[in-house]
Amino acid sequence: MRVGVFYGSCSGITGNVARKIAEAFEADEVVNMEEDFDSVDQLLAYELLFLGSSTWGQGDVQRDWVDPLLEIGDEELDFSGKTVALFGAGDAKTHGEHFVSALGKMYDLFKERGASFVGFFPTEGYVFEASLAIKEGMFCGLPIDEVNEPEKTQARIEAWIAKVKEEIGK
pLDDT digits (tens, 9 = 90+) for 74-96: 887 899 999 999 999 999 988 88
Q: Which residue has the higher pLDDT, 96 or 53?
A: 53
Q: From the centroid of its chain, how far is CA 43?
A: 13
Q: What angle do CA 162, 165, 166 make, to 5 degrees?
A: 85
Q: Which residue has the higher pLDDT, 163 or 96?
A: 163
Domain total in the chain: 1
Cβ burial of 29 (10 Å; 0-12, 13-18, 19+) is middle
Cα distance between residue 85 and residue 13, in whole Å: 17
Query: Would you say the pTM of this structure is higher than 0.85?
Result: yes
Domain containing 118 — which CATH number?
Answer: 3.40.50.360
Instruction: Print the domain residue range for 114.
Output: 3-168
